[in-house]
Amino acid sequence: MDRVALRGLKARGHHGVFPREREEGQTFIVDLTLGLDTRPAAADDDLAKTVHYGIVAEEVVAVVEGEPVDLIETLAERIARACLKHDGVQQVEVCVHKPDAPISVPFDDVTVTITRSRV
């Protein structure tokens, strides 16, 4: 399976279990790897035969900016479902970063990574 990757999509969301997270919001970063067969698109040099990653990026940002959820696991699942709606995308790996998570000790990042497929 071929892969199309998007790294570092940034959007402000209001996800989290604490009132401050819901009120103030924070930046979330999303990395995606879409699994699909790119051969038809490459053979015909035709965007319509592959995934339009610009549209996927816009949809992912809309999910992050959309309805708040408590868990980044839930957010990752919603993002995966949005990606799998695209024809040709057979599998997606979603990594959601929450670099400003409310943790009381020094840290660099918190991530949740999921893999989902049509089958």
Single out the residue of 15, 56, 17, 30 nearest to residue 112, CA to CA: 30
Active site residue 85: no
Q: Which of 10, 49, 85, 98 is catalytic?
A: 98
Cα separation, 72 vs 95, whole angstroms:
10
Alpha helices in 1-119 (DSSP H): 19-24, 39-44, 53-65, 72-84
Single out the residue of 43, 26, 31 nearest to residue 4, CA to CA: 31
Catalytic residue annotation: 98
